[in-house]
Amino acid sequence: MNAPDHARRAILKGGALIVGISLLPSALAEFNAMGLPKLANPKLPGSLKNTPLLDAWIQVAPDGKVTVCSGKVELGTGVRTALMQVALEPLELAPADIRFVGGDTLLTPNEGYTAGSHTMADSGTALLHAASQVAALLRAGAAAQWRVAPDTVRLQAGRVLGAGGASMHYGDALRGLDGAGLHREAAPTSPLRDPARYRLIGKSVPRVDIPAKVSGGAAYVQDMRPPGMLHARVVRPPRPGARLASADLAGVRRMAGVRQVVRDGDYLAVLADDEWRAIGAMNALAASARWAGGAALPRPDAIHATLQALPAQDIVILDKGERRAPAGPTVAARYTKQYVLHGSIGPSCALGLLKDGVLTVWTHTQGVYPLRAALAEMVRMPLEKVRCIHTEGSGCYGHNGADDVAADAALLACAAPGSPVRVQWMRDQENLWEPYAPAMVTTVRASLDAGGRIDQWDYALWSGSHNERPGNAGKLLPARLLATPFVPSPSLPMPQPEGGGDRNALPLYDIPNARVVNHFLPVTPLRTSAMRSLGAHLNVTAIESTIDQLAALAGADPVRFRLDHLAAQPRARAVVERAAALFGWKAGARAARRHGLGFGFGQYKNRMAYVAIAVELAFDADREEVRILRVACAADCGQVVNPDGARNQLEGAIIQSASWTLQEQLRYGPQGIASFDWSAYPIMRFSGVPERIDVDLIDRPGEPLLGVAEAAQGPMAAALANALAQAAGTRRNDLPLLRRPA
């Protein structure tokens, strides 16, 4: 078989899809840092590079029913709808005509993680090309049976239509092909439709995931209630590194409804026949548990000095031109951010079932294949005996507790074979034990030449890992607590151009002499991992804050100054100009007293969507409060698939970034994490949402899909920082920008 990570053959009988998969333990070594298998054919577009067989993406049953598969998953961004749009466009079908499967290790391609705004760029591109080639094969199959030219037949609503009223459904059309049917490798080029003829791509198709969410239907993994289900709760240590000395296991076992109490080393859990009984047993077990030891944490006001003093792997990611004494005015500053919670509205949840020797886990992970590999290692089962099925969770945007709770479900399902086991974390467990967004430090020193253009740029950053997703069992929190613990694989930097802490650390502007160094920290005081936009949040803030200060030194308007340093980048210039026009930006204009105007720009990862944002805010210095009056955003994400979905993502990112930038920080100290509930974690409330947000999309039909979900985080933070500097009369470089008591 040609798929690199598994042998996959689809057998279609009477509309039923039967898929056989064989995975070997050696396949674990073939996954890269993003959970992807090795390239199969680098000439193919999108994720077809890794999984080139057409029937891995599009399947047509003998009765004509169509199944569309994607390794990417719905995380609340609306991508399920957008992926359906690109697949249905060439197949001439409607959303109700197909079965769509996303993120199932038994049924879908391995596309690694749904992360980094890659879904549309990778899976959307793969589906567009696969569906276009399948559509051509359907026409060719019908034409061969009618003995006519393929260009004389057309597709419509699941049927191939020919001259004189000839018609057959898609299943019949495949009979005109050779024995391989759709089980063939994709071609490097596809018969793509002229964008001017798109009927679904570029249209605001209603999201298919919304009805259940607004009607009280079963929308999330938290809603699943299979027959015979047991409820489980876990008891975690009070702080990282603490060891369990004792607990009243026997007493808890005697409680009503308790089916099992599980202890394995420092791992504690209860299983009960009722959720409330499980909670009561968990509370009793936690009250009886005695823990010893554990690591003390630094104070928040010392964390950045701590980071800069830790052993680092120094990586030069840009070194061009020459380093010399500045010829003109210079700006030098240090920027920091604190640890931030994901703050998922629903605590993490998973279901596990061990039946007939197969372990199935329903999970809101962002990567079913990498998670499956880690779970198989943890429970010591063959890879082909573990299945992960993605089921939406109520809250995500990064590596929250989803993978850890899936490990809980796997362990406890193995302790209760034959019964579905639902593990639901409590709010304090989510807040205390999820992997946080890393604290970071950056420094920048930049100068102008005699003509007022940027001449020198020296930038450095210190950050721990932004990618601790399951690579081995040791990345899973429960696996570390077992009597025979699994050790996490070493933390490694994510290489450019993706980057981790150094994502978007490379300035996009025309700068002749520049050096950028990533001081990667393999070990830091707190467990960290991915949060929406990774290091781009702080890096774009630092870069754009510096650009504003350099513009002031040059006596130039900040928007004009940006345009002058983007001369060779027409798409970047276009979003800057569009955002400025949408906002009504006037060169030299000053806001009213205690009001500020700010601008921010970035291209996500310097290779994906372009976003520019202008902000007006009011600052109350006495109350230390900001009111965001209006936001104007322009974005270029290539071909827009679903305009409403893209605007939703940009608006949501603007609000989330504003909350991070102005307010959010994890509270912690030597005794441990203090942000165990919402009262102890500052987060934007409805009253703080911008009063007006305008979003303008620059659609580029036929251009590559760039992905937009994470592109606005940095530009919004930068625009806020620049606007607050104007309103307050002084610049603040430490995120969150609004000062709160420790």
Q: What is the per-residue pLDDT across 96-149, written as a single tens digit (0 to 9) for each?
A: 999 999 999 999 999 999 999 999 999 999 999 999 999 999 999 999 999 999
User: How many CA atoms are closer than 13 Å to the CA of 107, on its beta-carbon side?
Assistant: 21
Tell me the angle at which helices 643-662 and 79-91 cross, rounded to the nearest 10 degrees.
160
Q: Has residue 612 been placed in a domain?
A: yes
Q: Has residue 307 been placed in a domain?
A: no
Domain boundary among 159, 179, 212: 212
Q: What is the dihedral of CA 349, 121, 529, 306, to 10 degrees?
A: -160
Phi, psi of 735 (to 5 degrees): -90, 135
- Asked whether the predicted pLDDT for residue 741 surpasses 90, the reply is no
Residues 207 and 268 in one domain: no
Residue 336: what pLDDT? 98
Residues 184 and 236 in one domain: no
The enclosing H or E element of 66 equals strand 66-70
Domain boundary among 183, 212, 241: 212
Residues 161 and 88 in one domain: yes
Tokens 């495949």 sit on residue: 174
- Cα end-to-end distance, the chain, whole Å: 58
Per 3-state DSSP, the chain is made up of helix, strand and coil in percentages (nearest 5) of 30, 25, 45
Residues 183 and 267 in one domain: no
Residues 58 and 161 in one domain: yes
Residues 113 and 204 in one domain: yes
Q: Has residue 97 been placed in a domain?
A: yes
HEC string of 302-331 equals HHHHHHHHCCCEEEEEEEECCCCCCCCCEE
526 Cβ contact partners less than 8 Å away, ≥ 6 residues apart: 240, 297, 339, 436, 439, 666, 668
Q: Has residue 654 been placed in a domain?
A: yes
Residues 594 and 698 in one domain: yes
C-alpha to C-alpha distance for 676 and 299, rounded to whole angstroms: 17
Q: Has residue 315 been placed in a domain?
A: no
**The total number of structural domains that make up the chain:** 3
C-alpha to C-alpha distance for 656 and 401, rounded to whole angstroms: 19
Residues 350 and 422 in one domain: yes
Tokens of 485: 């613990």
Q: Has residue 33 been placed in a domain?
A: yes
Tokens 């604290």 sit on residue: 439
Tokens of 493: 């930097």
Pairing of strands 693-697, 625-636: parallel
Specify whether the CB–CB gap between 352 and 360 falls below 8 A: yes
Q: Has residue 309 been placed in a domain?
A: no
Across 418-432, 518-532, 597-611, 668-682, least confident range: 668-682
Structural Rg of the chain based on CA atoms = 27
Over residues 497-522, mean pLDDT: 97
Residue 249: what pLDDT? 98
C-alpha to C-alpha distance for 739 and 460, rounded to whole angstroms: 25
Residues 142 and 236 in one domain: no
Residues 282 and 187 in one domain: no
Residues 113 and 228 in one domain: no
Task: Using pLDDT thresholds of 50, 70 and 90, give the confidence band for residue 325.
Answer: confident
pLDDT digits 0-9 by tens, 561-583? 999 999 999 999 999 999 999 99
Q: Does the predicted model carry a pTM greater than 0.85? A: yes
Residues 231 and 143 in one domain: no
Tell me the angle at which helices 536-554 and 713-728 cross, rounded to the nearest 10 degrees.
40
Reading phi first (left if > 0) and then psi (alpha if -120 to 50, else beta), residue 182 is in alpha
Q: Has residue 584 been placed in a domain?
A: yes
CATH number at residue 201: 3.30.365.10
- DSSP reduced 3-state for 271: strand
Domain boundary among 386, 409, 433: 433
Task: Using pLDDT thresholds of 50, 70 and 90, give the confidence band for residue 9.
Answer: very low
Residue 387 belongs to what domain range? 221-293+343-433
